[in-house]
Amino acid sequence: MDALTIKNFRKFKGIEFYRQSNDKYHLLPFRFHRINDEKEVLVNEVGDFIIAPLGTATRIANRELSEEEPLYKDLFANFFISDKPIPDLIDVLATRYRTKKSFLDEFTALHIFVVSLRCNHSCHYCQVSRVSENRKDFDISMENLEAGIQHMFRSPASAITMEFQGGEPLLAFDNVKFAVERAVELNKYFKKEITFVVCTNSTVFSDDIVEFCKLHSIIISTSLDGPEFLHNANRPKSGAKSYEMVIEGINKARSILGHDNVSALMTTTSLSLDYPIEIINNYIENGFSNIFLRPISPYGFALKNTNKNKYETDKYLEFYKTGLNYILELNKKGHFFVEDYTTVILKKILTPFPVSYVDLQSPAGMINNVVVFNYDGYVYATDESRMLAENNDFTFRLGHIKEEYNSIFYGEKAKFFSQFWSNESLAGCADCGLQSYCGADPVFHYASQGDYEGHRATSDFCKKNMEIIRHLFDLIDNNGKELLPIFNSWINNRPRF
């Protein structure tokens, strides 16, 4: 480049200069989606958005936009249009894109260890065909546990999560104890940041178990489905009422581990659909400041009881919106309470960073962010994959825990699944304006439609996520001034006042 060009490039230029060069602007990659009867959202390649009147995208594409319009400057500044075919600041945009996809740098972070299939509950929506408490042959062997831990430390991730699931993992507490102590020992060498999580129904806490959790800063994730009548109907336990035991367990864990080290997760059954407000109030009464209004997963054992576990996505969406509206009203009155799934999506919409939520990523979370070491020694691509396996569908089995790391994580199966795990290249998703905020889920589509890619027009995954994301944009459009401070408080997990 000659000296004159260099000098001119950096020199301050008046508006006339830009007028001369902007007779025709150049398009940069962006998508759009209608959010209500008047507006559409324009979303660029890195997830930045502009809400504009319907037809704006068409006007932009047809070069009908005037540079006098305020929108023109917004589009220019936010990489929707450019004065050159390749904008001078393309490296800035590339860095933003890399940041959005930076969850790929770390590769598998969440390692789920199914230490036992034994359980003391018989929940009708359980996706795994749990076995009774005394059948120890459904526990993972120490040998396989050790092999799984070795694989976990082979992950390039600097921060890993070791999550124990079941069945009820604490019925096999010896396995949990061994695994945590072994990981702590090995980590003296690997020096990774490890988060330990136990997913438990909170009904088998002994003093020893809770003290051990405290010693190793283990986070408790428990199941609470709402009010007593609902929880006990969803999660029956022979000889006892689950709800009383869960609340007792939560309180015991909180008193020793600290209030914030105990979280709860609910599952929306057909029965739950009528009680969104009651469920939220129950969480508040029990001292929680967040809830995940989680739909049921259409996998494995859960499908055997369709009356209780299968419902139309429209009904779930009504449940979700009623619940979200109630939660927003609470927040408007100054009560800080968070809906977790909304927060995941809001982080994608309102921040430049990726979100560690494996069910809503592209490339999908399977293998890239999560892997499951099952009780029987086999490795699965996701938690849902092992649920399919309980119905003798081993499609997403990656191999045996004793096989080499590369053959499991980078093997032929992983390569095969990679064809379907990026929504950027899926029919229906590739053009979708909400693509940046959504994800791909080959396991869900295989399970629900018998097709790894899925048919978007009939996909419950697509219907649910498109409507939730559209609804959030509609809320921002109609009442953003009041709601955005609330949404930001959720993203930062900090009350506004």
Partner 1 sequence: MVVTPIDETSIQIKIDSTLYSSGVVHKCFYWYGGKYSVEINTEQSYFVVIISDPKKEWNIDSIVSKIKTDLIDFKTREIISNETKNIREILIAKAFANNDDFDETPPGNVNDPIGFEPSKI
The least distance separating partner 1 from the CB of residue 26, rounded to whole angstroms, comes to 8
Element (H, E) at 488: helix 460-492
41 part of the interface to partner 1, by CB under 8 A = no
Per the listing, tokens 């809830």 go with: 291
Single residue of 95, 132, 255, 479 touching partner 1 by CB under 8 A: 95
The least distance separating partner 1 from the CB of residue 408, rounded to whole angstroms, comes to 24
Q: Are 372 and 379 in contact (CB under 8 A)?
A: yes
Q: Are 411 and 399 in contact (CB under 8 A)?
A: yes
The least distance separating partner 1 from the CB of residue 369, rounded to whole angstroms, comes to 17
443-to-130, 312, 394, 399 alpha-carbon distances in Å? 21, 19, 11, 17
Single residue of 38, 64, 88, 412 touching partner 1 by CB under 8 A: 88
* Residues in contact with 165: Cβ distance below 8 Å, sequence separation at least 6, in sequence order: 112, 113, 114, 115, 199, 383
**For residues 458 and 479, which CB has a smaller minimum distance to partner 1 in the complex?**
458
Q: Which stretch binds partner 1 (CB under 8 A): 10-18, 141-149, 228-236, 368-376?
A: 10-18
Residues in the chain: 497
Element (H, E) at 241: none
Single residue of 43, 45, 203, 349 touching partner 1 by CB under 8 A: 45
Residue 208 CA to residue 169 CA, distance in Å, equals 15
Helices assigned H by DSSP within 334-377: 340-350
260 part of the interface to partner 1, by CB under 8 A = no
The least distance separating partner 1 from the CB of residue 4, rounded to whole angstroms, comes to 11
77 part of the interface to partner 1, by CB under 8 A = no
Total residues interacting with partner 1, rule: CB under 8 A: 40
Single residue of 142, 184, 215, 427 touching partner 1 by CB under 8 A: 427
Residue 336 CA to residue 437 CA, distance in Å, equals 24
Read off the DSSP letter of residue 296: P
86 part of the interface to partner 1, by CB under 8 A = yes
24 part of the interface to partner 1, by CB under 8 A = no
4 part of the interface to partner 1, by CB under 8 A = no
Q: What's the burial of 15, exposed, middle or buried (CB within 10 Å: 0-12/13-18/19+)?
A: exposed
The CA-based angle 276-270-267, given to 5 degrees, is: 65
Q: What is the DSSP string of 10-57?
A: HS---HHHHHHHTSS-EE-SEEEEE-SSSEEEEEETTS-EEEEETTHH
470 part of the interface to partner 1, by CB under 8 A = no
451 part of the interface to partner 1, by CB under 8 A = no
21 part of the interface to partner 1, by CB under 8 A = no
Helices assigned H by DSSP within 367-437: 383-389, 405-409, 412-417
Q: What is the largest CA-CA distance in the chain?
A: 87
455 part of the interface to partner 1, by CB under 8 A = yes
62 part of the interface to partner 1, by CB under 8 A = yes
**For residues 95 and 217, which CB has a smaller minimum distance to partner 1 in the complex?**
95
**For residues 26 and 332, which CB has a smaller minimum distance to partner 1 in the complex?**
26
The least distance separating partner 1 from the CB of residue 360, rounded to whole angstroms, comes to 20
Single residue of 18, 19, 29, 143 touching partner 1 by CB under 8 A: 29
Single residue of 1, 16, 66, 307 touching partner 1 by CB under 8 A: 1
Q: Are 125 and 234 in contact (CB under 8 A)?
A: yes
Element (H, E) at 269: none
| Cross-strand pairs, 162 | 111, 196
304 part of the interface to partner 1, by CB under 8 A = no
**For residues 70 and 85, which CB has a smaller minimum distance to partner 1 in the complex?**
85
Residue 178 CA to residue 184 CA, distance in Å, equals 10
31 part of the interface to partner 1, by CB under 8 A = yes
The least distance separating partner 1 from the CB of residue 21, rounded to whole angstroms, comes to 15
Single residue of 17, 19, 26, 53 touching partner 1 by CB under 8 A: 26
Q: Which stretch binds partner 1 (CB under 8 A): 3-11, 70-78, 193-201, 376-384?
A: 3-11
**For residues 32 and 487, which CB has a smaller minimum distance to partner 1 in the complex?**
32
Q: How far from chain centre, in Å, is Cα 149? A: 24
Single residue of 174, 193, 285, 431 touching partner 1 by CB under 8 A: 431
Q: Under the rule (CB under 8 A), what is the footprint of partner 1?
A: 1, 5-7, 9-12, 26-32, 34, 45, 57-58, 61-62, 85-86, 88-91, 93-95, 97-98, 101, 427-428, 431, 455-458
